[in-house]
Amino acid sequence: KFYQHATTEASQATLASVSPVFAVMKLDKEGNTTYFEKKKTELYQELGLQARDLRFQHLMSIATRNNRIIMRMEFLKAVITPEFLLILDYRNLNLEHWLFNELASQLAGEGQLVTYSLPFEFRAIEAILQYRISKLQGRLNTLQPQILETLEALVDPKLLSVDRSKLHILLQNGKSLSELETDLKVFKETILEILDEEELIEELCLSKWTDPQVFEESASGIDHAEEMELLLENYYRQAEDLANEARELRVLIDDSESIIFINLDSHRNVMMRLNLQLTMGTFSLSLFGLIGVAFGMNLESSLEEDPRIFWLVTGIMFLGSGLIWRRLLSFLGRHLEPPLPPHVPAVLKKSQPAAGRVEIKNSLKAETFGLSRSTLTN
């Protein structure tokens, strides 16, 4: 037993020594910022959480544990309490500008947060959601002009061939657009899961259960749960608008691809028709070239002595080849031209409006007869 106990203590000490260390940025209600490093075990014990709560397994999540809000927005890992906000692993190039220049002032009320008059957790949640929406909006603003410029260059009817470099750029932009659509979908689903459960919205209002003044305000008519629901719905609508814009870009890409394929098919048909015409011309020359082959053989006849025979045979060859080629071209044109629409006789054209007028007159007569009967009945 003593050996097992010593082994357990040694293993725990080893795990504690290798446990990850979080670089923590702490912001309070006034925007004061402090920085420190703390082991994961010590941090979740101080916050009253479990070890699994600080794993941040999903790219986006909003959960509540022991009157704490745990948020994950891609690279951003945050823990919100009624008194302060903790940003974990803040040493990230994608977050430095926002963390050091904007977040503290927003929490202190110097920014444009709508929830400044509400408890601290409202400001923290709004600041994080605003940051996430602004990042998604920036990605869409970067992709949209690139995609439109590429599509405009690809759909140009003056180009007989498609630039492969433009297609490669369009493929990369399409992948980026798909990733953006996925991120927007995850953002919407995460917020929608909270909006569908009233208990989750109530749990997000931390100060309602810890601050007696806030609890009295909620009892007197200021419903903080409703304010939290409006806050989440606002950012859900913004994400929905971004998703609609991304969807329009996706539809535009699909339509442009259809136009590109149609143009390529048209150019391919032109090349095939030109190839067919040249083949028919070669066939015509070969057919009447047999005459020259016959006269070019080393056979003696009385015709080779006449100087006019050469020009006569050459003229017959070219004239016959031209006539055959012309005949084949006319045959090709008749079979490749689209059929004309069927001819509508003039009698039918005139009879249709007349029949329509007769039907209208009959309906008007029926309505008039019905009105007169109702009048007599009254």
29 in a structural domain: yes
Instruction: Please check whether residue 166 lies inside any domain of the structure.
Output: yes
User: What is the number of domains present in the chain?
Assistant: 2
* Rounded (10°) angle between helices 164-195 and 224-296: 160
| Domain boundary, last residue among 72, 101, 130 | 101
44 and 159 share a domain? no
What pTM, to 2 d.p., does this model score?
0.67
Share of the chain above pLDDT 70, in %: 72
* Partners of 201 in the β-ladder: none
Token digits for 133? 């929406």
Shared domain check, 120 and 95: no
Look at residue 208 and tell me if it is in a domain. yes
243 and 130 together in one domain: yes
What are the angstrom distances between the C-alpha of 347 and each of 149, 253, 340, 342? 53, 48, 20, 15
Tell me the CATH number at 260: 1.20.58.340
3-class SS at 25?
strand
Domain assignment present for residue 148? The answer is yes
Q: Which residue do the tokens 């007349």 mark? A: 354
Is 139 in the same domain as 250? yes
Asked if residue 363 is part of any domain, the answer here is no
> Average pLDDT, stretch 173-194?
92
Among 76, 101, 126, identify where a domain stops: 101
Residue matched to tokens 């989750």 = 200
pLDDT at residue 334, as a whole number: 61
Name residue 88's beta-bridge partners.
Answer: 24, 77
Residue 74 gets the label, from left (phi > 0), alpha (psi -120 to 50) or beta, of left
Residues 255 and 137 in one domain: yes
Measured CA to CA, the distance from residue 103 to residue 107 in angstroms comes to: 6
Burial class for 118, CB neighbours closer than 10 Å (0-12, 13-18, 19+): buried
Q: Please state the three-class secondary structure of 276-341 as a single string.
A: HHHHHHHHHHHHHHHHHHHHHCCCCCCCCCCCHHHHHHHHHHHHHHHHHHHHHHHHHHHHHCCCCC
Strand partners, 362: none
Residues 200 and 154 in one domain: yes
> Is there a domain that residue 4 lies in?
no
72 and 213 share a domain?
no
Bridge partners (DSSP) listed for residue 35: 25
Domain end, chosen from 216, 247, 268, is at 268
Residues 50 and 193 in one domain: no
Residues 71 and 123 occupy one common structural domain:
no
Same domain assignment for residues 96 and 125: no
Chain segment 15-70, per-residue pLDDT in tens: 444 568 888 889 888 888 898 888 888 888 888 888 888 887 778 888 888 889 99
- Residue 333's pLDDT is 66
Residues 87 and 215 in one domain: no
Q: Is the pLDDT of residue 321 over 80?
A: no
Count of Cβ atoms closer than 10 Å to residue 87 Cβ: 23
Report the mean per-residue pLDDT for the chain: 76
Checking if the pLDDT of 170 tops 80, the result is: yes
**Residue 58 carries which DSSP code?**
S
Residue from 235, 243, 239 nearest 129 by CA: 235
Could you tell me if residue 75 is inside a domain?
Answer: yes
Q: What pLDDT was estimated at residue 98?
A: 81
Instruction: Look at residue 39 and tell me if it is in a domain.
Output: yes
Confidence of residue 300 (pLDDT cuts 50, 70, 90): low
Question: Other CB atoms closer than 10 Å to residue 91's CB: what's the count?
Answer: 10
Q: Which structural domain, as residue segments, surrounds residue 164? A: 113-268
Give the neighbor-by-neighbor strand order of the sheet with 68-73. 33-39, 21-28, 84-88, 76-80, 68-73, 60-65
Q: Are residues 68 and 215 in the same domain?
A: no
- Do residues 65 and 49 make contact, with C-beta atoms less than 8 angstroms apart? yes
Give kind and range of the element (H or E) at residue 345.
none
Q: What's the CATH number where 22 sits?
A: 2.40.128.330
